[in-house]
Amino acid sequence: MIGIVMAGGKGTRMKLDEEKLLLQYKKPIILHVLDSLKNSNCFSKILVVTSCNSPKTKNLVEKNNFKTFDSPGIGYVEDLNLVLQNINESVFVVSGDLPLLDEEITQKITNSFDPEKTWTSILVTNKFLTSLGLHSDYSINFENNTCHYTGISLINSEKISSLENVVETFVIIDDKRIAFNLNSKQDYDLLGAT
């Protein structure tokens, strides 16, 4: 399995002068995610998707001996689609803005991979998210619950020729380590209080 970290976004919702994934939580946020994947020992390769929006992030990632993949930085889905066209095996995709991610939850999610399913997105319930003081603008209804994407997906890329008409399945895992992604200044302030 290959670990892919999405790190090419503009972080516009944060309204920052610096790159969001370089924000500090003991160390830069992106390094928490990369170390979690590396220390999980689940991946044959870890690839960080960067773009012209994240040159300093790319530099930091490469200095820490992780491989990067240059994307156009158009958007999450477009950049991910481009990467998946170049991969022909199972993939663990994660956003680079999950500062509480650790190797244990990474292993748990990776071990749940079902190669019969093309795309499995990991969700948290709205009830759990709001209990943490967090908010997300993107919700879906699953199993009579309002849920939110965590930015983590398990993908069998051998079954995908493009991201159009992909059948998506869902798994709910209410866990702080994957619920806490940085989308706003308030999220970052909350992180400092944890």
- pTM flag (> 0.85): yes
pLDDT at residue number 155? 94
Tell me the backbone φ, ψ of residue 66, rounded to 5 degrees: -105, 145
C-alpha 187/C-alpha 127 separation (Å) is 17
pLDDT at residue number 32? 94
pLDDT at residue number 163? 63
C-alpha 85/C-alpha 17 separation (Å) is 32
Residue ranges of the chain whose pLDDT lies below 50? none
pLDDT at residue number 153? 95
CATH of domain 2-193: 3.90.550.10
Condensed to tens digits (0 to 9), the pLDDT of residues 27-55 reads 999 999 999 999 999 999 999 999 888 89
